[in-house]
Structure 1
Amino acid sequence: MTHFAIICPSAIGHLNPMCVLGRELQRRNHQVTLFSIPDIRSKVINSGLNFEAIGETEFPLGSLERKYKQLGEMSGIPGFKFTANWIQQETAMLLRELPEALKAAGVEALLVDQTTPAGSTVAELLNLPFITICNALLIDREPGVPPFFTDWSYRPVWWARLRNLVGNFFIDRLSQPIESLVARQRDIWNLAPYSSVQDFYSPLAQICQLPPEFDFPRKELPQWFHYIGPLKDPSGLEPVSFSSISFPFEKLTGQRLIYASLGTLQNRKWEIFQTIAEACLGNDAQIVISLGNPNIQDFALDLPGSPLVVPYAPHQQLIEKAALVITHAGMNTTLAALSSGVPLVAIPITNEQPGIASRIARTGAGEVVPLVRLNVPRLRDAIRLVLAEDSYKQNALRLQDTISHAGGVTRAADIIEQAVSTGQPVKADVR
């Protein structure tokens, strides 16, 4: 039995797949503890995992909701910069507090979210094996692939490579304070300096929620990089949810269902909900809109067409019933829809969402309406096109089949156990 620590952002989109993975490892008789800020204690414990609080000074109770509210009102580059500053603050806290917390708990291996840059350095300091988990869109950089925060299409031509290099330069500039913070701490701890961004990720195994067919073609990933599909619970239920809120399934009419959600972070853009409701009129469908946060109290529920609006919804159960999902192109919602063979209309807002949306468009599983071009006629046209053209549904079903064969959480746990027990890289072609 191994005692695993989970280190990841406190956002539900990262917590849910990590907790699914943690529960699978617990089922195999391992011990799993998630280390994070106090605000998520009850959610993690309710999911069935152990929890250790850190960062209580910088992130006292209530601070997470305030950050959610700030980010929920942002879009584009400002939202991206806010997220980067948040990661920098979290990185400083983890470098200071995590080593002692891990030692005190007797942790033997780490599962580190790819967007948590402190994890690899702490693991090296304590001489612990660690596995990188890509819960969001993978952020590995290479010239042939558009940067994750852009909506750029994949183009295997020289000018696209140049464009990608310029975009990656922007990422380098924005992430420089974080990388400098890690570099200074490594120097204090007498650890060798990192020579590339890849040094932040595991030399044993890197596990990604995407199926390979959904990503752009890549040439520079390490041999121990694994596309395994969504980290989903077999029940279809999310381990980190608001269990006290019940969904009124009795209000579903049996009409064709359109499910709309902007996730749990970008959910303060009221005008987008207004546009969605109006654009859905005239489709002979019932509209369900999830606000993604039970703490939202100040939203006017009087929307065009009287859609069923709820503070929070059981994602997968609604998606299973849907003919179409309208989303901000968050990773978990996108993968949930594709896992069910449901096409999408994406309205990306910030962070990696434009990159996910560009992959939705490239695979033909949906349409994309950029936020800067969002209006009722344009969104209405996209909705009607996806509902009318069978190719979108067929492409979503094709990706559903790919996901069903990717391995999911069972394959991820197999890889982790092999990597930790042998101390050797687990190559992607080893089954």
Structure 2
Amino acid sequence: MSAFLFVVPPLVGHINPTVGVAAELTARGHRVAWACADPGLVRRLAGAEADVFPCDGIAGVERPPDLRGPEALKFLWEGYLVPLADAMAPGVRSAAQDFRPDVVVADQQAFAGALVAECLRLRWATSATTSAEFTGAYDGMPRVAAWLRERMTELRGRIGDPSGTADPRFSPHLVLAFTTPELVGPTGENGEAIRYVGPSIADRPAEPGFPWEWLDPGRAKVLVTLGTANADAGGRFLAECLTALRERAGRVQAVLVDPGGTLAAAAAAAAAADNDNDNDNDNDVLILPVVPQLPLLAKADAVICHAGHNTVCEALWHGVPLVVAPIRDDQPVVAAQVVDAGAGIRVRFGRVTAPGLGAALDTVLREPAHREAAARLRTAFRAAGGARAAATHLERLGASREHDRPGADEPGAGRQP
């Protein structure tokens, strides 16, 4: 049996896809551990018994909500990804030396995992929880691509092997892409190390108190979510959603996720207007800070979201079409993939109004083409194998006799970062 160390950033969307893979490896008798700056988050998502090695993290990172495009990318790297790698590196090194993994599974945005593994001559695989890096997103921006390479070279000089050449975002041994070519499209990368395994969908700890009896079987169900990292930017958009949904109360019922509590005033005003008009809309929109997303998607007819990769893939795993409103980072790329695949409609996050949102929602609910495209992607996703396929690829890497470090019986031997 082999040992696998998952190195992940403290982000729900990056941990969730690996949970099912880790569970599958454990079920097959392998040893699994994690390295993360938030052990509690890993244990909440992967189970209380998860073996987690703590790493230092960074705190107080507040990205201005209006940043877009290259400026948002620059802030993401300079303000979060690179400092996080510097902070995590000592903890990842200690975890590798204590746990003695055969394979390090490094999230594509947890650079410390790849660089430390390379430095310790350990085999490593990439966990790619977004498809944006597979579509040549920077092909038309050579200055941006050069700037990213410079930042990575500097980081490697601090925490990795200066003589190393592998891009920490793409392992030369194995890249697990939690998507499929059917969504990525014809421009997707197809390198020898890339394996498209589809979404990794696994059971999650039950969220308390969801009123399942609230759902009305006679109306279409819509889930509205901007993920876990966009509460700072979502107030106006969620308010427009609320208006559009209430205007469709007779035929639509919605669950709207509002983790930052930004809708309290808008909801109160809408409720007051309903009372003035003697309309009973208490059963139209349910606003909650957190929801059991996977069980809800099994009942949903449409999703309105920010085009976050996990939310998109989880919706399409259930064959649910989408209205996507990308905000920043990889979201415009993922939104374009949804539209190109025919599985949804894109709206402008910063400018769309309730009438525009309502029209887009009506289209994905009423016209069969979007649902048919979502169903095709559902079939492709499930055929790709998900967590089981990913675990099999990792097993093969773990069992390989080709070591990238001296001493097959000395995990962790080699240069120290």
- TM-score, scaled to structure 1: 0.82
Q: Does the 8 Å contact 1:328/1:346 carry over to 2?
A: yes
- Give the counterpart of 1:201 among 163, 166, 170: 170
Higher mean alpha-carbon deviation, 31-40 vs 201-210, is at 31-40
**Pairing 1:388–2:366 present:** yes
In the alignment of these two chains, the number of paired residues is 382
1:32 aligned partner: 32
1:161 aligned partner: none
1:105-150 Cα distance to aligned partner (Å, 9 max, x none): 333321111122232221122221111111122414xxxx451xxx
**Pairing 1:332–2:325 present:** no
Q: Does the 8 Å contact 1:114/1:138 carry over to 2?
A: no
Change (3 A) 1:120 1:82: same
2:129 aligned partner: 135
Change (3 A) 1:71 1:320: farther
1:246 Cα deviation after fit: 2.3
Change (3 A) 1:323 1:73: same
Identity %: 25
**Pairing 1:320–2:318 present:** no
How many angstroms apart in 2 are the aligned matches of 1:72 and 1:37? 23
1:44 Cα deviation after fit: 5.0
1:106 aligned partner: 100
Residue 80 of structure 1 aligns with an amino acid whose one-letter code is L
How many angstroms apart in 2 are the aligned matches of 1:72 and 1:44? 28
For residues 196-235 of structure 1, the aligned pairs below 5 Å read 197=167, 200-218=169-187, 221-233=190-202
Structure 2 gaps, min length 5: 271-280, 404-417
Change (3 A) 1:361 1:298: closer
Residue 25 of structure 2 aligns with an amino acid whose one-letter code is L
1:240-273 Cα distance to aligned partner (Å, 9 max, x none): xxx4532111211222111111111112321111
RMSD: 2.4
**Pairing 1:253–2:220 present:** no
For residues 70-219 of structure 1, the aligned pairs below 5 Å read 70-71=62-63, 73-77=65-69, 78-84=71-77, 85-140=79-134, 145-147=135-137, 165-174=139-148, 176-186=150-160, 189=161, 191-194=162-165, 197=167, 200-218=169-187
1:3 Cα deviation after fit: 1.9
Higher mean alpha-carbon deviation, 258-267 vs 201-210, is at 201-210
**Pairing 1:399–2:377 present:** yes
Return the index of the structure with the highest Cα Rg: 2
Change (3 A) 1:183 1:424: same
Residue 95 of structure 2 aligns with an amino acid whose one-letter code is A
Residue 76 of structure 2 aligns with an amino acid whose one-letter code is T
Residue 167 of structure 1 aligns with an amino acid whose one-letter code is M
Q: Does the 8 Å contact 1:25/1:31 carry over to 2?
A: yes
1:56-85 Cα distance to aligned partner (Å, 9 max, x none): xx54xxx4xx54xx3494552454333222
1:417 Cα deviation after fit: 0.3
1:172-223 Cα distance to aligned partner (Å, 9 max, x none): 325632432113444xx5x5242x64x6522222110111110132475321
How many angstroms apart in 2 are the aligned matches of 1:28 and 1:18? 15
How many angstroms apart in 1 are the aligned matches of 2:359 and 2:304? 13
Change (3 A) 1:361 1:220: closer
- TM-score, scaled to structure 2: 0.84
2:273 aligned partner: none
1:33 Cα deviation after fit: 1.0
Residue 50 of structure 1 aligns with an amino acid whose one-letter code is D
Change (3 A) 1:309 1:103: same
- Give the counterpart of 1:286 among 239, 250, 253: 253
2:351 aligned partner: 373
For residues 20-59 of structure 1, the aligned pairs below 5 Å read 20-38=20-38, 40=41, 42-43=43-44, 46=47, 48-55=49-56, 58-59=57-58
1:150 aligned partner: none
Residue 320 of structure 1 aligns with an amino acid whose one-letter code is A
Q: Does the 8 Å contact 1:263/1:330 carry over to 2?
A: yes
How many angstroms apart in 2 are the aligned matches of 1:200 and 1:135? 11
Residue 225 of structure 1 aligns with an amino acid whose one-letter code is I
1:302 Cα deviation after fit: 4.3
Residue 90 of structure 2 aligns with an amino acid whose one-letter code is R
Residue 43 of structure 1 aligns with an amino acid whose one-letter code is R
How many angstroms apart in 2 are the aligned matches of 1:262 and 1:423? 44
Q: Does the 8 Å contact 1:118/1:182 carry over to 2?
A: no
1:342 Cα deviation after fit: 0.7
Residue 398 of structure 2 aligns with an amino acid whose one-letter code is V
Structure 1 gaps, min length 5: 148-163, 426-431
Q: Does the 8 Å contact 1:245/1:312 carry over to 2?
A: no
Residue 180 of structure 1 aligns with an amino acid whose one-letter code is E
How many angstroms apart in 2 are the aligned matches of 1:326 and 1:175? 35
Residue 68 of structure 2 aligns with an amino acid whose one-letter code is G
Change (3 A) 1:238 1:223: same
- Give the counterpart of 2:325 among 342, 347, 357: 347
Secondary structure of 2:126's partner? strand
1:93 Cα deviation after fit: 1.7
